Structures are given as C-alpha cells and as structure tokens.
Amino acid sequence: MSPDVRTLALQVLLPGFSGTTLPEDYRALLEEGLGGICYFGSNTAGGAETTAALSAAIRAANPRAVIAVDEEGGDVSRLHTREPSTVLGAAALGAIDDPDLTEAVGRWVGTELAAVGVTLDLAPDADVNSDPDNPVIGTRSFGTEPEAVAAHVAAWTRGLQSTGVAACAKHFPGHGDTATDSHLDLPRIDVDADTLAARELVPFDAAVEAGTAAVMTSHIVVPALDPDRPATLSPVVLAMLREVLDFDGVIVSDALDMAGASASRGIPEASVLALVAGCDLLCIGPDKPASLVEEICDAVVAAVAEGRLDHARLADAAERVAAMAVPVAGGGGEPDRLRQTAAAVDALLVEGSLPDLAGATVVSVETTANIAVGEVAWGLGPDVRVDPSGDGIPDVVPLVVQVRDAHRRPDVLALLDGLERAGRTVVVVEWGWPGPYDGGLARICTRGSSGPGVAAVVEVLREAGWTR
C-alpha cells in the first residue's frame, strides 16, 4: 500500500526545534514519518555526548530520519561554538590551495559528524565569492576563481562522503555575486547566462561529478534564467540543475523561514512552491514549533487536492529523500594540527611591518555576524571587547585590534582611522574576508576564524614581541 499524501508531505520536511532533547510533539511527528531534523546552535549546545544522545532519540522514533547540520569548518560550525572550529575554513583552504589538505579537512568533519549521528552535512559552500562586499558568503567560499573553487569543493565533498555522511553543495545556482543577505531580503544576480555558466555553475558541476548526495538551492533571483522567482521556487532554475548538470540526487531548499523565500507569502506557501519547482527536502529553519510543521503539511496536502502540486512530484521527492545515502569508504583521523597551523601561516596575508607588540592588549571590535555564522567564538581570546565606537579601549599600550569584514563597516573603518590618527601602536587582525583597506595600520588577514588560524596568528604576533 503506497503512503498517503500526508505521510508523503511529512517525509519531505526538515524542520529544526529548540533545545538539546527531543520534544514529545516532534517525537510523534517522527514516528508518523517526518523526513528529518536539522540541527542548529540550540540543539548542539550540550556538547558531543548530548548531541549523540539526541540523534539516537530521533533515530529511535524514525530510523530513516535525515539528521542534518551546517558544519562547514572555519566560521560556520554548529559543533564548535564555544571555541573556534578545529579545522580551517573554505577561504583559508582555497588560499593554501592544497586539495589533499582540503579533502583531509572534509574527512575529519565527516568523522566528527558521524560520531554524533549526523547523516547530512549542509556543506561545502560552492559559491564563487566574486563580490568582496558579500555579507553572507565571504570566508565561507573557497575563493574568487571558479576552477580553483571547483577543485576544493570536489575535494571537500570526497573527504566528507568517505565517512558515510552525505554532502550538500550550496547555494545553487550561486550566491557569491550578491551584496544582499537572503536571510533578510531577496538578492538578485544580474549576470548573463554565459557568465553564470562560466563562473557560478563550475563548482556545482564539480560537486556533481564528485558524487555529492545533495545540492541546496538559494533564495536569489537570477533574471537571466527567471526574472520573477527566487531559485528555490523556480522550476526553470532547478530544471537546469537536473538537465544541464545532470544531477540526480536530492535537491534541498535553503531555510524557508528566510525572507528571500517566504517574507511575502509565508512558510507553508513557500513550501508548496518549492516542491512544485523541484525541491525534494524542505529545510524549514531553526527553533520551529511542531504546529508549523502541521501547517506546512496541511498546505502540501491541500495543494495536491487542488491540483497545484502533482502527486507524482511529491512522491518522487519523498523517494529521493528516502534513498539518500553514501557509501563509507573508510574514515580517517584528524588532519595533522601542525600541518594545518603551518598551512594557516601560509594563508595569512600580512600587510605592512608589524610594530613592537610587547605588552600589547587584544581588543575585539564586536559586530553582528551574519545569521549563517551566528554567535560563536572567533579569533584570539580578547582582553577587551568594544563596540565600533571604541569606548573602553585602553590608553598607551600597543593594541592588537580584531575585526571582521571591516571593509564593509564604515564605523569600524572610522575606529581604525581614529587610532591611526592618534598615533597608537596597532596591528589589525582581519578575521573576515580580506577586503580593501587603505589605512596606514599594519594588517594581518586570516581568511576566516579557526583553531589553526588562531595558532597561526599567535605565531606571527609572538615574532613581533607579543607575550601573553
């Protein structure tokens, strides 16, 4: 007997709930066939042992449930929030340009995820970061050159999937040339089809060739393909993924609670439209009540009854989700810490001559991270935290001033300019994308925060006399 429409509707949903234990209403949904759970920061806050127990509870309720998470390494980590990620992020790996190291990092991420019961990693980021002012991609990208990005996307994918954890290349058809955050608005990429094919699609093609189990859509409008609908809701864009890139795996929507998808229509309607367009697994977003899952399920059932969503399309989506799996090729240990630190040193961009930093105080300029990164530890442990006004910065002593994406933040640039004009002894450590900076202060660009990146910066600062 084939599943009824409600069961099929549940099987394509990937919501996230709040907390480190499985709520009873979500347990009931899983027992009824809910497709899976996506972990966010509130779910992993208890540490690895607690997260593994949560995964076991989910799988006990539904052995076929997908358990997904955003674990990119570097700046985007759900397993490492109290300290920087143990592995280098994409931008640093791209700068180092050692695909073997990139594959080893992907393999270690998979090893960590498999140990806590995760089956789908919403990574790697396959975007080409062609706009340095990009507010949401930045250091999550392997770089600015399509072929180089493609090589590292393929390597990271191979490493991850060798552990049995499925990869999900994102954000199709490419989120790198945007200056708008799709969490907050609806970006547009105004490029022609030839540019799209020669730049944005190259890393996704490499991911497909590497065998990626899934591809995630983006909530961006590409007028050259579809002037009216974001990619997640566009049959034209998603048909290109199937027919041009010949991808036969699971198409996962980016979170449908993001403004780029649902601000004007609501999450239930966005869910229906995503399925109609060709998405198979619908990421709903974090900390959602079970009542919203029921609303979405009801909307999908109604859309089938009304003829807006073909029953066969829904059944195909559910079948793809159920079939998603990758073989375990044999895991591997953590990539050599010394090798990662040495590589991170090579990835550093040091501009200007570092002054004598004996007795220097580390100051973190606190700015809001994008939603994908979230509130996580970053950079060196600071002695002082300040907002961009600079109130509270100590007088006289040399300073190591930590910033993120200062080139996009006029208030942070004004702070740095004020320190320079005051004749302060300052080294700027840029933990975000190495954007343009025409100030006179020495600057160290890290291409993203990570444990190895921190060790590399410490090594360079110590050479300049810093002794903490």
Active site residues: 183, 254
The kind and range of the H/E element at 251 are strand 250-253
Distance between CA atoms of residues 210 and 307, nearest Å? 37
Contact between 209 and 256 under an 8 Å Cβ cutoff? The reply is no
The C-alpha R_g of the chain, in whole angstroms, comes to: 22
Instruction: Round to the nearest angstrom and report the end-to-end CA distance of the chain.
Output: 68
- In sequence order, what DSSP letters do the residues of 118-177 get, joined into one string? --EE---B------TT-SSSGGGSS-S-HHHHHHHHHHHHHHHHTBTPEEEEEEET--TT
Q: Which residues contact 106 (CB under 8 A, 6 or more apart)?
A: 124, 155, 156, 157, 158, 159, 160, 167
Distance between CA atoms of residues 405 and 433, nearest Å? 6
- In sequence order, what DSSP letters do the residues of 280-319 get, joined into one string? SEEEEESS--HHHHHHHHHHHHHHHHHTSS-HHHHHHHHH
